[in-house]
A and B are shown apart, each in its own frame.
Chain A
Amino acid sequence: MDAFLFIPCLVAHVMPQVGEATARVLARAGVTPRLPDGQTCCGQFAYKRGLPEAVRPLARRFVEIFEDAPAVVGPSGSCVAMVRRYPELFDADDPFRRRAGRVAAKTYELGEYLVDVLGCPDLGARLPLRATLHASCQTTRVLGVGGHTERLLAGVADLILTPLPHPERCCGFGGGFSVDYPELSQAILDKKIEDILAADVAAVIAAEPSCLLNIGSALARRGAAVRTLHLAEVLAGEAA
Chain B
Amino acid sequence: MSAAKHDFAKAAAKALDDRESRAILDRAIFHIDVLRQRSVKAMPDFAERRARAVAVREKTLARLPELLETLEARVTAAGGRVHYAEDAAQAAATVTDILTAAGAKLVVKGKSMVSEEIGLNDALAAAGIEAVETDLGEYIIQLAGQRPSHILAPALHVSKEQVSALFQEKLGRTSADIPEMTRIARDSLREKFLAADAGITGCNIAVARTGTVTVLENEGNIRFSASCPPVHVALMTLEKVVETLADAAAILDILPPSATGQTLPVHLSFFTGARRDGERDGPREMHLVVVDNGRSAVLADPVLRDILRCIRCGACLNVCPVYQAVGGHAYGSVYPGPMGSVLSSVLAGGEGDPRQPFACTHCAACAGACPAGIDHPALLQELRRRLAATEPDPAARAFAALARHPWLFDGLAAVARTVDPRLTKTAALAPDSPVGRFLRGRRFPGLARPFARRFRKMGQGGKS
Contacts and interface: CB of A to CB of B under 8 A. Distances in A.
A188 B442 CA distance: 13
A183 B449 CA distance: 30
Nearest to B12: A184
Nearest to A189: B441
B388 A220 contact: no
Interface string B434-464: 1101101111111111111011001011111
B365 A137 contact: yes
B364 to A, nearest CB: 4
Given A33-B461, A170-B321, A181-B9, A141 B361 contact: no
Contacts of A173: 361
B434 A180 contact: yes
Given A19-B451, A168-B365, A184 B322 contact: yes
Interface residues of A, number: 76
B461 A27 contact: yes
Nearest to B357: A50
A23 B396 contact: no
Contacts of B400: 41, 43, 45-46, 51, 54-55, 57-58
Contacts of A2: 461, 464
B359 A54 contact: no
Interface stretch (A5-13, A116-124, A147-155): A5-13
A141 B364 contact: yes
Interface string A27-70: 10000111111111101011111111011011001000000110
A55 B406 CA distance: 15
Contacts of A46: 396-397, 399-400
Nearest to A136: B363
B403 interface: yes
Contacts, number: 220
A168 B386 CA distance: 30
Given A33-B461, A50-B385, A58-B404, A217 B359 contact: no
Given A35-B455, A50-B384, A45 B399 contact: yes
B358 A221 contact: no
A113 to B, nearest CB: 15
A181 B404 contact: no
**Interface-centre pick from B322, B389, B444, B451 (highest chain A CB count, 10 A):** B451
A190 to B, nearest CB: 7
Given A141-B364, A172-B321, A49 B388 contact: yes
B322 to A, nearest CB: 7
B463 A181 contact: no
Interface residues of B, number: 68
Given A15-B448, A50-B387, A50-B388, A32 B460 contact: yes
**Interface-centre pick from B384, B413, B447, B461 (highest chain A CB count, 10 A):** B461
A177 B397 contact: no
Nearest to B322: A184
Nearest to B358: A180
A188 B362 CA distance: 13
A50 B381 contact: yes
A49 B400 CA distance: 11
B448 A141 contact: no
B451 A16 contact: yes
A27 B460 contact: yes
A44 to B, nearest CB: 10
A177 B365 contact: no
Contact of B443 (A11, A40, A220): A220
A34 B455 CA distance: 9
A188 B321 contact: yes
A214 B310 CA distance: 33
Contacts of B464: 2, 4, 34-37, 68-69
A221 B442 contact: yes
B352 to A, nearest CB: 15
Contacts of B404: 40, 57-58, 61
Contacts of B397: 46, 51, 54
A174 B377 CA distance: 12
A111 interface: no
A189 B442 CA distance: 10
A225 interface: no
Given A19-B455, A24-B458, A141-B365, 16 more contacts: A7-B451, A16-B450, A35-B464, A40-B404, A45-B396, A50-B387, A51-B385, A51-B393, A55-B400, A169-B321, A170-B321, A172-B361, A177-B359, A188-B322, A188-B324, A220-B445
20 contacts: A13-B413, A13-B417, A16-B449, A16-B451, A16-B454, A19-B451, A23-B458, A24-B460, A32-B460, A41-B399, A49-B358, A50-B389, A54-B396, A170-B321, A177-B360, A181-B9, A181-B12, A182-B440, A184-B325, A218-B442
